[in-house]
Amino acid sequence: METFKNNFDQVAEILERKNVKEIKELFHTEAYDCSTYSTNADIVADLVIENSNDFTKDIATKIKESEGKKYLSAKQAWCVAYQVVNNIEVYKAALIEISK
C-alpha cells in the first residue's frame, strides 16, 4: 500500500530528482490545461518568486497573480525549470523553510 505524501514532500522529491523536464511539465505540456496548475506547480512558483532575481521571478509572479490561469509557453516553462535545477540547493533549503 502506498502512503500519502503531502505536496511539500512531493515537491521535495521532484527537486531531489533534478529532472528539468519534470519541472517544466509542471507548467507546460502539450496536453496540459493551463487553467488547472497543480498545487506542486504553485509551490515551485512560490519558491521561484522568493529565490530568483531575474526574469523567471516575473514569469512565476504572473502565474500567481493570475491564479493559475496564465498560459506559460514552453520556453517560459523551460526557463523556470532551468532556474530551479541550476540553483537546486537554494530551492531545497527554501522548501524546507516554507514547509515548517
Pairwise pLDDT comparison (12 vs 34), residue with the higher score: 12
pLDDT value for 64:
83
Q: Please check the confidence at residue 76 and state whether its pLDDT lies above 80.
A: yes
- The predicted model scores a pTM of 0.88
Pairwise pLDDT comparison (90 vs 68), residue with the higher score: 90
User: Shortest CA distance to 41 belongs to which of 64, 17, 19?
Assistant: 64
Q: Please check the confidence at residue 90 and state whether its pLDDT lies above 60.
A: yes
**Roughly what angle, to the nearest 10 degrees, separates helices 39-51 and 20-27?**
110
